Amino acid sequence: MTKKILILPGDGIGQEIIGEAVKLIKHLQTHYDLQVETEEALIGGTAYDATGKPLPKETLELAKQADAVLLGAVGGYQWEELDIAVRPEKGLLGLRAGLGLFANLRPAILYPQLADASTLKPEVVAGLDIMIVRELTGGIYFGQPRGIRELENGEQEGFNTLVYKESEIQRIANVAFDIARKRDSRVCSVDKANVLECTELWRNTVMGLHERNQDIELSHMYVDNAAMQLVRDPKQFDVMVTTNMFGDILSDAAAMLTGSIGMLPSASLNESGQGMYEPIHGSAPDIAGQNIANPLATLLSVAMMLRYSLDESELADKIEQAVSDVLDDGLRTADIYSDGMQKVSTTEMGAAVIDKL
Ligand code: NAD
């Protein structure tokens, strides 16, 4: 049956990297008989400029009808002064909430060809393969009440609420246990149970669920220690599961271990397996429009989409192999460039991956 993909380029380099992904999808349709229909819609600052909203109703409706959503990135300097309710990032948060995408899977894999691109010693990171499972629709980013209020003495006070229900913790922990089962069967749950009651409940709930997942080795770590261990000895981890905010921060740190956030894809899934796929980086306004952004994270997001939402694991494997082959050939965008390699543009890198297919 023909599956539907909604394509949301968004802002900044989003336009350029999604351009390469669209060429890849067209290639798969023509040469591998991939049965998909694609449609494009607005999100982020571009959507705000056109409609006054970072997530137009039409975009959310199309996303709900799609089997998978492929997103570039949102945000940019020109929208930073807008009211927080209509900033580009709200479009993304609204989409995640609207689709119920509670599980964010962020692999941090170091391609051996790029071991030198990491700021850590090659022996510390070579062969790194971590999966960070981040809760995406709860926690402090969504908790109520929130805001900035004025106190009686005229001083302003900002406040947010960290809140998790047992059921929210259980469903994300279940995803982590399931993924670990297909990998090295180890889960490290990250919390701050010594200070935050909400994450004390997190730890107790994960421990409770573990009783039914005894084939998985479970450990717990406070988030400050986890941040330190990620830099000291990242290969000790297999699957890490954590809250929305801790996952946001730790997954960016893990990403940097691999040398470039331009290399890392992500998947966000809901309970019915519908998914949104996007590179983990932002809209990189500092390099937008220059044809120098790394498109590989986005092409690898297409691979994740094929695997998790479109039931096309073989094609996913082919894309991942093509990316590895292109790196073997010494092709590098500026962010992963090192001496002796061949520096290429966004479009040249995209074309090289398609050539390898
Ligand atoms: P960023 O990820 O956009 O950029 C951080 C640094 O990495 C920049 O120097 C950038 O040039 C570089 N970079 C990022 N992607 C790259 C790629 N594919 N190739 C080469 N270099 C790349 O993060 P930021 O600078 O903190 O944020 C910029 C904007 O993006 C902000 O408006 C922010 O809110 C937004 N943002 C969006 C998302 C998203 O859409 N998922 C995620 C993070 C940040």
Provide DSSP, 237-269.
Answer: -SEEEE-HHHHHHHHHHHHHHTS-GGG-EEEEE
Q: What is the pLDDT of residue 282?
A: 94
Q: What is the pLDDT of residue 220?
A: 98
Residue 75 to residue 84: CA distance in whole angstroms: 12
Q: What ligand 1 atom has the least distance to the C-alpha of 293?
A: 19
Indicate whether 104 pLDDT > 80: yes
Q: Average of pLDDT values for 42-60?
A: 98
Instruction: Output the CA torsion 284→287→288→294 (10° steps).
Output: -80
Q: Average of pLDDT values for 212-219?
A: 98
Q: Average of pLDDT values for 126-134?
A: 91
* 203 Cα: distance to centroid of ligand 1 (angstroms): 32
Q: What is the pLDDT of residue 261?
A: 81
* 204 Cα: distance to centroid of ligand 1 (angstroms): 35
Q: Which residue in the list 178, 252, 325, 329 is annotated as catalytic?
A: 252
Residue 351 to residue 346: CA distance in whole angstroms: 9
* 283 Cα: distance to centroid of ligand 1 (angstroms): 5
- Residues having CB closer than 6 A to ligand 1 are 13, 73-76, 89, 92, 261-262, 278, 281-287, 293-294, 297, 335
Q: What is the pLDDT of residue 136?
A: 92
* 85 Cα: distance to centroid of ligand 1 (angstroms): 20
Query: Is omega for the bond preceding 88 within 30 degrees of 0, making it cis?
Result: no
For domain 116-261, the CATH architecture is 3-Layer(aba) Sandwich (3.40)
| pLDDT tens per residue, range 224-234 | 999 999 999 99
Indicate whether 333 pLDDT > 90: yes
Indicate whether 302 pLDDT > 80: yes
Going 251 to 252 to 257 to 261, the CA torsion angle's sign is positive
| pLDDT tens per residue, range 233-273 | 999 999 999 999 999 999 988 988 887 789 999 999 998 87
Residue 279 corresponds to which tokens in the numbers above?
Answer: 């590179």
Global pTM value: 0.87
Indicate whether 151 pLDDT > 90: yes
Q: Average of pLDDT values for 34-55?
A: 98
Domain ranges within the chain, ordered by starting residue? 1-102+270-357, 116-261
Contact assessment for residue 241 and residue 187, using Cβ atoms and an 8 Å cutoff: yes
Domains 1-102+270-357 and 116-261 share a fold: yes
Q: What is the pLDDT of residue 179?
A: 87
Q: What is the pLDDT of residue 258?
A: 82
141 is a catalytic site residue: yes
Q: What is the pLDDT of residue 147?
A: 97
192 is a catalytic site residue: yes
Band of residue 186 on the pLDDT scale cut at 50, 70, 90: very high
Band of residue 130 on the pLDDT scale cut at 50, 70, 90: very high
For domain 1-102+270-357, the CATH architecture is 3-Layer(aba) Sandwich (3.40)
Q: What ligand 1 atom has the least distance to the C-alpha of 296?
A: 18
Q: Which of 85-99, 114-128, 189-203 shows the highest mean pLDDT?
A: 189-203
Contact assessment for residue 216 and residue 210, using Cβ atoms and an 8 Å cutoff: yes
Q: Which range is least confidently modeled, 29-33, 197-201, 265-269, 308-312? A: 308-312
Counting residues of the chain whose pLDDT is more than 90, the rounded percentage is 85
Residue 292 to residue 346: CA distance in whole angstroms: 5
224 is a catalytic site residue: yes
Q: Average of pLDDT values for 318-333?
A: 96
List the residue whose alpha carbon is closest to atom 32 of ligand 1: 75
Band of residue 127 on the pLDDT scale cut at 50, 70, 90: confident
Contact assessment for residue 212 and residue 244, using Cβ atoms and an 8 Å cutoff: no
Indicate whether 116 pLDDT > 90: no
Band of residue 314 on the pLDDT scale cut at 50, 70, 90: very high
Indicate whether 219 pLDDT > 90: yes
Indicate whether 34 pLDDT > 90: yes
Q: Which residue in the list 111, 141, 164, 308 is annotated as catalytic?
A: 141
Q: What is the pLDDT of residue 100?
A: 93
Q: Average of pLDDT values for 124-150?
A: 94
Q: What is the pLDDT of residue 252?
A: 86
Residue 189 corresponds to which tokens in the numbers above?
Answer: 């749950």
48 is a catalytic site residue: no
248 is a catalytic site residue: yes
If you average pLDDT over every residue of the chain, what do you get?
Answer: 95
Residue written as token pair 């004390």: 200
